[in-house]
Amino acid sequence: MIMGSEGFVYQRPRWTGAGRDDCVAGRAVVSSKHPLIGEAGLKMIKLGGNAVDAAVAAAFMDCVVEPAMNGIGGEGVMAIHLESGENIIVDYVGRPAAASSPEMYGLEDSMEPGWMGWRKVRGDENVVGHKACVVPGTVAGLAAALERYGTLSLGQVIEPAAKVADEGYVVGWWTADAIFRRMEAFWRFDEWRRVYLREGQFPYLPYTEEMAQPHRLSNPELARCLRAIAEGGPDAFYKGWIGDAVVREVQRGGGLITREDMAAYEPIVHEPEPGTYRGHQVVYDPTHSGTTMMQTLNILEGYDLSSMGYGSVEATHLVAEAVGLAFADRFKYMGDPGYVRVPQRALVSKGYAEELRGRIRLDRAGAVEPGDPWPHEPECTTALAAADADGNMVCVNQTLVNSFGCGVVVPGTGIVMNNAM
């Protein structure tokens, strides 16, 4: 859904292969998955803010109205292009507890289902429960972006989200479906059931015009946390009562996050890496999905996709093959460079892309297997974007990693914790 500053709302219909449509607005546009997210962003423009203000307000609202996809107990990354021409990455991916190690998980002999090639962890402890979460980065990252590149106060950008969390909102089909799908896995978590179910039942059906009273979801405890952050800044989250509540709950379930881990968290602000695609300049974040995106573009550079027609069978096949090869390498080689050696330069090299391109057949799907980049070496995420008339542009990706993260809701806060381990 794209919302313009003049109140124009454009919701793209189901894709039919007929091509692309344009959305034009005079002062600003915000693209998001929920109308309340776009409204929060555009409200900042009307208050005199810029695209960064709009994106941060939209991101906080996203934490409220898409609770399965992201939250202040999660993480993310923001890409900013300023009117001056400067490009910035704000990396607020979470950090493992200092005491974390591979030995904290027991491995089974079987493999995880799918094509990632990972050994299965005993009891799924790296996915579900208190040992699956890292120190959240969302609050610190959004606050850092606002302080450095925005013009409005933290209180101004947070209040729309806090108000909706307090008063509630109509549940859309995606959140309703996510609640239903996670009921079995998260039934053992009392706080998750209390916040998202009604008397143990799944009530949040998608709204239809036939419903006399649409189901609404509120989270007053989350609203209280948001307003505490608005008043006290990130320290209220990482060093105050909210952080204490996070540590207390995580450790109660066997997790390792400490007060020192919370207090030490800082987002990383840096310049993006440059790349090229068929004569176009591309900038990307090398530490996250940007490497996978750039690798995909390098593979596709050898084909003239535009001559094949938008949405054609030929073009779609090539994109699917390139994405599959890039993601196979992602799951094989990517990781936290603070802990593992990552062949990042090799993964985005043109020579390695040419090697992978040789594995693609035009007449059939190929095996999704990782390659060998070393010789070349020198469910759930949400996205939004905002742009203003001055030329400032912002893209945000936020996640809990899996739907509703690890299932742990911190008592007294309404915060859903990630499962980024």
Catalytic positions: 381
Q: Are 169 and 36 in contact (CB under 8 A)?
A: yes
Burial per residue of 370-395, b for 16 or more beta-carbon CB atoms within 10 angstroms, e otherwise:
bbebeebeeeebbbbbbbbeeebbbb
Task: Calculate helix-pair angle for 289-300, 313-333, nearest 10 degrees.
Answer: 140
Q: Are 393 and 111 in contact (CB under 8 A)?
A: no
Task: Calculate helix-pair angle for 154-167, 51-65, nearest 10 degrees.
Answer: 20
**Closest by alpha carbon to 343, among 277, 281, 300, 295?**
295
Contacts (Cβ under 8 Å, ≥6 apart) of 255: 97, 130, 131, 132, 133
Q: Are 380 and 69 in contact (CB under 8 A)?
A: yes
Contacts (Cβ under 8 Å, ≥6 apart) of 322: 296, 299, 300, 356, 360
Helix or strand holding residue 234 (H, E)? helix 234-238
Q: Are 58 and 38 in contact (CB under 8 A)?
A: yes
Contacts (Cβ under 8 Å, ≥6 apart) of 365: 317, 320, 321
Q: Are 131 and 255 in contact (CB under 8 A)?
A: yes
Q: Are 65 and 171 in contact (CB under 8 A)?
A: no
Q: Give φ, ψ of 64 to 5 degrees.
A: -90, -50
Which residues lie across from 78 on neighbouring strands?
Answer: 90, 396
**Closest by alpha carbon to 29, among 66, 60, 55?**
55
Q: Is 157 helix (H, G, I), strand (E, B) or coil?
A: helix
